[in-house]
């Protein structure tokens, strides 16, 4: 089973709202990732968690706040977003971060900021 689940599938939020995206995997993977993808572009890495610790923050604005409550769950808290933050937000997981192995992506949350 290589399933990564994400909720919600779609989210519309105003610039003053606070919302959270959720991601879950039950493959025993120890690395989890958040990516942002705009139309016709490849995914851009935002954050890497390895063994539940934040290992990489790709200079993401503080209005995006990641959290890893346990080894299976990854959240992305959103606050005071801008319309240009509208995109597909993808979660991914891999066996570990250092091994260079395959990453498996969830279906994504399509976010629209109004």
Contact yes or no for 66/76 (Cβ under 8 A): yes
Contact yes or no for 92/105 (Cβ under 8 A): yes
Instruction: State in angstroms the smallest separation of the CB of 21 from other proteins.
Output: 14
DSSP 27-67: S--SEEEEEEE-TTS--EEEEEEETTEEEEE-S--TTEEEE
The count of residues interacting with other proteins (CB under 8 A) is: 21
- Decide whether 80 or 88 has the Cβ nearer to other proteins: 88
Question: Residues 23 to 82: which contact other proteins by CB under 8 A?
Answer: 41-43, 45, 48, 56
Positions touching other proteins (CB under 8 A) are 2, 41-43, 45, 48, 56, 88, 90, 97-98, 100-108, 110
């Amino acid at each position: 089973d290589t399933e990564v689940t994400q909720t919600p599938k779609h989210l519309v939020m105003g610039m003053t709202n606070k919302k959270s995206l959720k991601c879950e995997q039950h493959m025993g993977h120890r690395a989890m990732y958040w990516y942002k993808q705009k139309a016709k572009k490849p995914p851009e890495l935002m954050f890497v968690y390895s063994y539940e610790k934040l290992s990489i923050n790709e200079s993401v604005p503080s209005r995006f706040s990641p959290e890893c409550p346990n080894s299976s769950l990854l959240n992305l808290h959103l606050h005071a977003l801008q319309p240009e933050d509208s995109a597909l937000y993808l979660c991914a997981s891999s066996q570990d971060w250092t091994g260079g192995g395959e990453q498996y992506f969830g279906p994504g949350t399509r976010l629209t900021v109004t």
